[in-house]
Structure 1
Amino acid sequence: MRVSDHDRERTAQQLQRAFSEGRLNQLELEDRLEIALTAKTYADLLGLIDDLPVEQPQVNDVVELESKNGHLKRSGDWAVPRRLRVTSKYGSAELDLSEAVIAHQVVDIELDLTYGSAKIILPEGGVANIDAFHSDWGHVTTADVPSRPRPGAVHVVVTGRTKYGSLTVRYPRKRWFTH
């Protein structure tokens, strides 16, 4: 799969952070940045960040959204925290990450929905692991969304449960414009 400018930039930012932390020397940074900024596919990015630690969530990077029976929705240009907890007894949740600002590679989303459903829209190229999400009477769907982490791609990890609702994880719908 071909990478976007955003994928290349995200990988470059991670490399620069590693350099500022002393994990890479100047020569290693320059070599890896050259590869990252000219990458055409995810295969080109492999190995550039594999030996660097995955960023861990910090306490102040947790946001909690709660509703008893309303619809929780985040879309457009919004800052995605490292960890997002969504709780709703009767309502639903829609988290559109496709145009959001995501400053870290891994996003943990914990869903606690009793009768509600959730929809998560990933940015192009993003991946989502939903193995730790359970639905007692509903369904869990990912439409052609890979679950394994990819270099430079946002990795969303969904945990939690819904008793009677469902979870859908997908990419944005393609828009067709007529002139």
Structure 2
Amino acid sequence: MSELQMRVSDEDRERAAQQLQRAFTEGRLTQLELEDRLEIALTAKTYGDLLGLIEDLPVEQSQGGDVVELESKNGAVKRSGDWAVPRRLRVASKYGSVELDLSEAVVDHPVVDIELDLTYGSAKIILPEGGVVNVDAFQSDWGATKTSDIPSRRRHGSLYVVISGQAKYGGLTVRYPRRRWFTH
């Protein structure tokens, strides 16, 4: 399934509607065009539906908070515990590893896009129980991509993580948290 066929959220519809309203106030759309496009935006089902409404408008410059970029040249990039996961995350590491533990993180989005750019190093991503991952857009030149028994088909009510990008000399492992066994 392509990203254009993925279903949109209410937040996605609202963001598109706001962009259309800004275009109207800037004189880029007529009143009739705005009304027609808003009707479609508020009932859109897929990203493809929304893209057709805004592709002839300038790209918003005010989405700095929408994408978070993490970068390291020599050290490891690590996030774990109680941290806020952005909707889109870009991680670049030249000589280090990447570990993103989402199992205890605050995730306010049903879909999280993670783009990896790794040269010498591997990535490990830990999903919360029930999370789903799509690694179809990730390429590893000299390493393996392992997803254990994690499903790749999107499920209603489950976190859906889409991982894209590449690793030149490293791989990608996606797993659930390890179960802790306690003895009494």
Q: Which runs of 4+ in 1 moved over 4 A?
A: 51-56
**Structure 1's 81 and 138: CA in aligned 2 closer, same or farther, altered over 3 A?**
same
Superposed displacement of residue 178, structure 1: 1.4
In structure 2, what is the equivalent of residue 177 of structure 1? 182
Superposed displacement of residue 60, structure 1: 2.1
Q: Could you tell me which amino acid in structure 2 is paired with residue 153 of structure 1?
A: S
Q: Could you tell me which amino acid in structure 2 is paired with residue 93 of structure 1?
A: V
- Out of 151, 159, 172, which is 2:156 matched to? 151
**Structure 1's 178 and 54: CA in aligned 2 closer, same or farther, altered over 3 A?**
farther
Q: Distance in 1 between matches of 2:109 and 2:126?
A: 17
Aligned residues: 132
TM-score (norm 2): 0.67
Show CA shifts across 1:33-81 (max 9, x none).
Answer: xxxxxxxxxxxxxxxxxx974689x552211000001011000000000
Gaps of 5+ in 2: 1-8, 15-42, 51-62
For residues 61-80 of structure 1, what are the structure 2 equivalents within 5 Å?
Answer: 61-80=66-85
**Structure 1's 87 and 172: CA in aligned 2 closer, same or farther, altered over 3 A?**
same
- Out of 95, 116, 124, which is 1:119 matched to? 124
In structure 1, what is the equivalent of residue 89 of structure 2? 84
Show CA shifts across 1:96-154 (max 9, x none).
Answer: 00000000100000000001100000000000000110000111000100011100000
TM-score (norm 1): 0.69
In structure 2, what is the equivalent of residue 43 of structure 1? none
Q: Equivalent pairs: percent with the same residue?
A: 72
Q: Distance in 2 between matches of 1:66 and 1:54?
A: 31
Greater C-alpha Rg: 2
- Out of 94, 111, 115, which is 1:110 matched to? 115
RCO greater where, 1 or 2, for CA within 8 Å and sep 6 or more? 1
In structure 1, what is the equivalent of residue 167 of structure 2? 162
Gaps of 5+ in 1: 1-13, 22-50
Q: CA RMSD in A?
A: 2.1
**Structure 1's 73 and 54: CA in aligned 2 closer, same or farther, altered over 3 A?**
farther
**Structure 1's 95 and 54: CA in aligned 2 closer, same or farther, altered over 3 A?**
farther
